[in-house]
Amino acid sequence: MSESRGRRRGHNEGSITPPEKNHGKWKYTITVGVGADGKQKRRSVSAKTKRELMEKANRLRIECGKQSATDKDMTFSDLVKLYMSIKAQEIAASTMKLYNIAIYTLFKGLLPFKVSRITSDMINEILIKGKEQGLATSTIKNYKNKIGAIFNFAVDRDIISKSPMKGTLKQKIERRTLMVLPTEDQVKEMLKRAKEFDDKARKGTRPIYPILLLEVATGLRMGELLALTKADIQGNKIRINKQVTSTGDVKAPKTQSAYRTIAVSQKVLDKVLTYATGSERIFGNCRSLSIDYRFSKFVKENTDILPENFHFHDLRHFHATQLLLKGIGVQNVSRRLGHADVAITLKYYSNYLPQEDERAAELFDML
């Protein structure tokens, strides 16, 4: 074959034109059909390197429904790139971030493997490892669903005949019927150990102590806590008007009642602000998933002082019940928590006031 012509490949594999014949770039061309005028319709892509060209060629062939033998040898990394490039127009940017988080947090080890060689046993091993690392069951399930969508895409495109997600471990999420509430002494010891935990952490790791301290003192939702900026603090008041999503994006609160201003102990604020970063946000540009991971690790190392099955959100419950137990009115507690209705506050916390029930019974001792 003459060097002046594009190198012809097998059926449905298209042709490649070398850089010296295409203005310094590799070019791939494939016939995608015949037009109404009887002429062949072609599509092409160009790239600086042959490797980049083949990645683009793989995507183009699958987009055009032109499967080839090389597609069967596609790596999971190539599949992810293909999926992302095609779905970018259909899926929100925040959802695309979640896919990347799922892949690089838990499934990064699959990237170099050929898609056709990935098995359910390999995926099960990764799921078990994620649990051992302290990832919440709900988080693992979410990540698994994202990866499952990518493999289903591969099946639909005839890259593989069957998804390796079939036969993998199911992530059973146990719904807790009771709140897990620590005692005041447990919370004090938790904060003390959080300082020690931070001291032992790698340099540059986000300290967990100021986050836990402010959570105990405010009962904010994690997203609200992480979204706080220095401008949101005026004296001993904190203004809540935004939240950080699991992907790290800053968005407006979901409900109108979530917009609020609450008073906070000046002593607590002074301590927290000594840890403030140089960025606008007090706790830097961290997201809830990274804090969840750090907190899970902390809890595992301190099971002797914390209740079983203890989660970060339980500190919000601790804050609310402590206020009610110490005589703060339910209306004010509801407003501090950002509940849309006092009924929501009562639904969650009315059963955690045994002293009130005993006192109510004593009122009728005169009978």
pLDDT greater at residue 278 or residue 17: 17
What letter represents residue 248's amino acid? G
Buried-exposed string 174-211: b where 16+ CB fall within 10 A, e elsewhere: eeeeebebbeeebbebbeebbeebbeeeeeeebbbbbb
The span from the CA of 338 to the CA of 242, in Å, is 12
For residues 25-49, one letter each, b for 16 or more C-beta atoms within 10 angstroms of the residue's C-beta and e for the rest, the string is bbbbbbebeeeeeeeeeebbbbbee
What H or E segment, with its residue span, contains residue 26? strand 26-34
Better-predicted residue by pLDDT, 176 or 23: 23
Question: In this model, does residue 288 exceed pLDDT 80?
Answer: no
Neighbours of 272 (CB within 10 A): 22
Q: Is 333 helix (H, G, I), strand (E, B) or coil?
A: helix
- Indicate the average pLDDT of the chain: 84
Mean pLDDT of the region 308-331: 90
Q: How far apart, in whole angstroms, are the C-alpha atoms of residue 341 and residue 319?
A: 18
- pLDDT of amino acid 355: 61
Asked if 253 and 242 touch (Cβ cutoff 8 Å), the reply is yes
Report strand pairing: 237-240 vs 243-244: unpaired
Which domains are delineated in the chain? 7-73 (no CATH), 76-156 (1.10.150), 184-358 (1.10.443.10)
Q: What is the percentage of the chain residues whose pLDDT exceeds 90? A: 41
pLDDT at 367 over 70: no
Query: In the structure encoding, which two tokens stand for residue 183, read together?
Result: 């005692």
